[in-house]
Amino acid sequence: MNGTRLVKIATQSIVKNKMRTLLTMLGIIIGVGAVIVMVAIGQGAKAQIQARIDNLGTNLVVITQGASQTGGVSQGAGTSNRLTLADFDALKRESTIFTGVSPVIVAPTQIVGGAGNWRTSVNGVSLDYQSIRAWPVASGRYFDDTDVRAMRKVAVIGKTIADNLFAGQDAVGQQIRLRDVPFDIIGVLTPKGQTAEGRDQDDVILSPYTTVQTRLSGRQFITQILGATASKGDIPAAEQEARGILRESHKLASYEADDFTVRDQTELAQAAQGTTQVMTILLAAIASVSLLVGGIGIMNIMLVSVTERTREIGIRMAVGARGSDVLTQFLVEAIVMSVVGGVIGVGVGFAGSLIVQRVTGWGTAIAPQMVLLAIGFSAAVGIFFGFYPARKAAALDPIEALRYE
């Protein structure tokens, strides 16, 4: 018998027994739906983290002290070689690719002012910081060249601090004391939200690095140097250039390894995405179990239906169906039901993702290849779990099957 007739027989049988068909498909519908929802949540989290990484500033290069660590073991010996303002100056002076370079000196500080106390970090940065981080002020102004050169005690504060210390009033023009040193607030930054790790980026004070170093930090070392390029394509060359400038500045011999680390956003992104990847896989694994249960459901109902349909099988064999025809019919029925169940499951998954998004406010995203994968997997489940009942049906003896009541 040919394929189209066979598919016709199988679909006739599926359509004639709607209740049985629905029950058989239910497990697959739920399983596929669950997989789609779980993966959509995972993908949504990933997209959100990507957005936060982009939020750091575009085309960002981060230079930190110490050699890059692999497996917690420092690769270079020169960890005592810190980053200094001399490194920053060298980069600023010699780099041809960076469109902006800024040091970041992090000084954890107790603040007094406005409504009371607050503990935060004061970041000593240069003028370029604003453009590197793409972080404009919401009110007031950013510090300028004169502020930096004159080491003026001026501060640009994040939204969290403005909200906590100067709730309901304009912070610009107010004074705060950082380690008992009075600073004038000249601007309030636009809110940036949380980092990928959940740290509040708006809980920060920016001040000229010159001021921070002399007034608050008192040390020669700087925490990191940020650089920005005009485009993503410039990043590898900029990293290469920065490495050369810093090696020279640190007077490293050719056989010595870097005693600093140059990273870009891709690496930051990879680190952050690693966690969500694990989460997505975990969620998908849990959901796959329900798909497996759905497959066993198909097998269960098909086994019952082989018994129930013994007489039908006998009739088919009596008029000339071979064992292989019966096997194929049952197998096609199983595959059609699981694929249709899979397609419905995708729809259920879409709806479920939307509901999750509404209720929890988490972003969700559905990848098209995920849909194909889910439907392909359903077909595989149909073949796998449909085979045993189909073989049982095919092995029936025609006379015994006809005599079955």
Partner 1 sequence: MAAANAVIRVEGLERVYATGKTEVRALQGVDLVVQPGEMVAIMGASGSGKSTLMNILGCLDRPTAGSYQLDGVRVDGLNRNELADIRNAKLGFVFQGFNLLARTSALENVELPLMYSRRHKGVDTRAAAQASLERVGLAERLDHEPSELSGGQQQRVAIARALVTRPSLLLADEPTGNLDSHTSIEVLALFQELNDTGITMLVVTHEPDIALYTKRVVELRDGRVIRDEAVRDRRVAAEDLGAATPLALAS
Q: Tell me phi and psi for residue 100, to 5 degrees.
A: -165, 145
CA distance 222 to 216: 12
Instruction: Give the C-alpha separation, 219 to 349, whole Å.
Output: 56
Cβ distance to partner 1 smaller for residue 184 or 312 = 312
Nearer to partner 1, 159 or 316 (CB): 316
Q: Does 138 bind partner 1 (CB under 8 A)?
A: no
Name the percent of the chain in helix, strand, coil, to the closest 5: 55, 20, 25
> Does the protein bind partner 1 through residue 20 (CB under 8 A)?
no
Strand partners, 122: 107, 205
7 in contact with partner 1 (CB under 8 A): no
Site membership for partner 1, residue 219 (CB under 8 A): no
Binding to partner 1 by residue 321, rule CB under 8 A?
yes
Q: Which is nearer to partner 1, 263 or 392 (CB)?
A: 392
Return the bridge partners of 119, or none.
110
User: Which of residues 112, 293, 315, 373 is near partner 1 by CB under 8 A?
Assistant: 315
Q: Which is nearer to partner 1, 134 or 402 (CB)?
A: 402
Number of residues interacting with partner 1: please give it, by CB under 8 A.
26
Give the span between the Cα atoms of 289 and 383, in whole angstroms.
17
Q: What is the rounded distance in angstroms from the CA atom of residue 241 to the CA atom of residue 292?
A: 54
Q: What whole-number distance in Å separates Cα of residue 119 and Cα of residue 68?
A: 30
Rounded distance between C-alpha atoms, residue 138 and residue 143, angstroms? 14
Nearer to partner 1, 257 or 399 (CB): 399
Candidate ranges 3-11, 41-49, 87-95, 215-223; the one touching partner 1 (CB under 8 A): 3-11
Restricted to residues 346-365, the positions that interact with partner 1 (CB under 8 A) are none
**Which lies closer to partner 1 via its Cβ, residue 232 or residue 311?**
311
Residue 402 interacting with partner 1 (CB under 8 A): yes
List the structure tokens of 246: 């810093």
> At its nearest, how many Å lie between partner 1 and the CB of residue 25?
19
Looking from the CA of 94 toward its CB, the CA atoms found within 13 Å total: 17
Give the shortest CB-319-to-partner 1 separation in angstroms: 4
Q: Choose, by CB under 8 A, the member of 316, 334, 356, 364 that binds partner 1.
A: 316
Nearer to partner 1 by Cβ, of 16 and 199: the residue is 16
What's the distance, Cα to Cα, between the start and end of the chain in Å?
Answer: 28
Residue 159 near residue 202, CB atoms below 8 Å: yes
CA dist., res. 31 & res. 292, Å (int): 8
Instruction: Indicate whether 307 belongs to the interface with partner 1 (CB under 8 A).
Output: no
Contact set with partner 1 (CB under 8 A): 1-2, 5-6, 8-9, 12, 16-17, 311-312, 314-325, 398-399, 402
